[in-house]
């Protein structure tokens, strides 16, 4: 798309969205980050990059993913509900849209080695997958606690040929895995590319990952035009951890004010319980992983470990684009508890025959918190499938019955 006048939601030349974003990095990372800042747009916009990326998305990932009209769910809620089926991507989530793009970029920058962080393991698996595809060395950092909680994904990454290194520092979860990946990058400045898994980190990562995930809304527009005769729905709803599936689902609607954007955070046990991952509801502006954004932290500025039943939503920060969408009121932010998400997952399973990832179930649960007119059209980003969460579902519903 050509950009006419600059969108108020686009990143500026210093990497900021309003008061959020930037690149607060130690000098040690400066050459790496500067190289990316100077090259990412040039590379992503090249015809040969676009061609190769789109061919892989089609033939390898399985895009376009369907925009499925959920008839029974729609009847129940009294709106036209479409599900954007990112769960049908290869490896089971939207994460691979980003990793396919970034590995092509890494190749064009002459990098030989890939590192990544992962929480639940979905981004780690998506990274290990494209590294296998391209024959590149892959090291994935994962919190020691998460490795214990998400064993099958650890084994998947290993089977794909990646080395999984436990992050043993701090709280031993996603934020610490991210610290370790950044430290690895500091120690390997020449040959290594760091594939961040969401729209977080220093500029240009938030913009770069958003552009690679923007394929989601690009397809929604086309598909909705065919099905409804209009490209713009009334609502787009997506869950937010770091915010990459939401950024991708919102991207081509940001400057269409008639489209209401709804971002759904994980409230965990409840936003007032201290066991929550609702960064917009509970965070204060701060700096983590090179990015100024809303952050869960103590009054002294120590980063607090978030909690959610879904391992993919418990990042203590949020992408700077989303913090800005909240500031400006462009998007509405809702918080959904563990229980509400689990209920919504069960509902989707039994009304549509689709078992969603627990992350995606947070977006579905938001339907209960919204009111709509009968013919309003809404698109829910079904960011991933529930296979990885089966043990959690069994445990949760088993304990309840």
- State the first-to-last Cα distance of the chain, in angstroms, to the nearest integer: 51
Of the candidate spans 61-69, 77-85, 125-133, 293-301, the one that interacts with other proteins by CB under 8 A turns out to be 293-301
371 labelled catalytic: no
Site for other proteins, residues 9 to 48, rule: CB under 8 A: 14, 22-28, 30-31
Q: CA-to-CA distance for 380 and 122, rounded, in angstroms?
A: 20
| Interaction between residue 301 and other proteins (CB under 8 A) | yes
| Interaction between residue 394 and other proteins (CB under 8 A) | no
312 binds, among ligand PLP, other proteins, none (CB under 5 to 8 A by kind): ligand PLP
Asked if the peptide bond before residue 115 counts as cis, ω within 30 degrees of 0, the response is no
- The minimum distance between CB 157 and ligand PLP, in angstroms, equals 14
* Residue from 11, 267, 288, 341 in contact with other proteins (CB under 8 A): 288
Is residue 176 within a helix (H) or strand (E), and if so which, with residue range?
Answer: helix 174-187
Contact (CB, 8 A) for 114 and 137: yes
384 binds, among ligand PLP, other proteins, none (CB under 5 to 8 A by kind): ligand PLP
Strands (E), 204-330: 235-239, 260-268, 284-288, 291-295
295 binds, among other proteins, ligand PLP, none (CB under 5 to 8 A by kind): other proteins
Q: CA-to-CA distance for 169 and 300, rounded, in angstroms?
A: 20
Q: CA-to-CA distance for 269 and 277, rounded, in angstroms?
A: 9
| Interaction between residue 274 and other proteins (CB under 8 A) | no
38 labelled catalytic: no
74 labelled catalytic: no
Task: For the sheet with 80-85, list strands across it.
Answer: 67-69, 80-85, 377-382, 235-239, 260-268, 331-337
Q: Which residues are catalytic?
A: 95, 117, 383
Task: Summarize as ranges the residues that interact with other proteins (CB under 8 A).
Answer: 14, 22-28, 30-31, 169-170, 175-176, 179, 182-183, 186-189, 284-290, 295, 297, 299-303
């Amino acid at each position: 798309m050509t950009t006419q006048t600059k969108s108020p939601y686009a990143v500026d030349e210093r990497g900021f969205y309003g008061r959020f974003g930037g690149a607060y990095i130690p000098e040690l990372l400066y050459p790496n980050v500067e190289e990316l800042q100077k090259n990412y747009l040039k590379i992503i916009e090249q015809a040969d990059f676009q061609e190769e990326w789109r061919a892989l998305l089609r033939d390898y990932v399985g895009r376009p993913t369907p925009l499925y009209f959920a008839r029974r769910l729609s009847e129940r809620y009294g709106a036209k509900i479409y599900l954007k089926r990112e769960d049908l991507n290869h490896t089971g989530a939207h994460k691979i849209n980003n990793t396919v793009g970034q590995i092509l970029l890494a190749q064009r920058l002459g990098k030989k080695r890939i590192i990544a962080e992962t929480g639940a393991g979905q981004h780690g698996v998506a990274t290990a997958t494209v590294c296998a595809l391209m024959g590149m060395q892959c090291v994935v950092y994962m919190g020691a606690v998460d490795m214990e909680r998400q064993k099958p994904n650890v084994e998947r990454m290993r089977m794909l040929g990646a080395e999984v290194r436990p992050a043993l520092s701090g709280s031993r979860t996603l934020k610490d895995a991210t610290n370790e990946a950044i430290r690895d990058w500091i120690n390997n400045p020449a040959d290594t590319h760091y594939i961040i898994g969401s729209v977080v980190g220093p500029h240009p990562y938030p913009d770069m990952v958003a552009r690679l995930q923007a394929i989601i809304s690009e397809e929604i527009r086309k598909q909705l035009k065919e099905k409804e005769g209009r490209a713009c729905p009334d609502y787009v709803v997506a869950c937010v951890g770091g915010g990459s599936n939401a950024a991708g689902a919102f991207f081509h609607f940001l400057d269409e004010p008639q489209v209401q954007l709804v971002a759904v955070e994980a409230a965990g046990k409840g936003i007032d319980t201290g066991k929550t991952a609702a960064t917009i509801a509970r965070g204060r502006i701060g700096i983590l992983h090179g990015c100024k954004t809303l952050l869960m932290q103590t009054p002294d500025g120590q980063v607090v470990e978030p909690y959610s039943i879904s391992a993919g939503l418990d990042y203590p920060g949020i992408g700077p684009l989303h913090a800005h969408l909240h500031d400006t009121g462009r998007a509405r932010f809702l918080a959904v508890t563990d229980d509400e998400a689990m209920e919504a997952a069960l509902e989707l399973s039994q009304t549509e025959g689709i078992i969603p990832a627990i992350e995606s179930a947070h977006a579905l649960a938001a339907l209960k918190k919204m009111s709509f007119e009968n013919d309003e059209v809404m698109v829910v980003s079904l960011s991933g499938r529930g296979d990885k969460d089966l043990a959690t579902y069994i445990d949760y519903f088993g304990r309840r019955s």
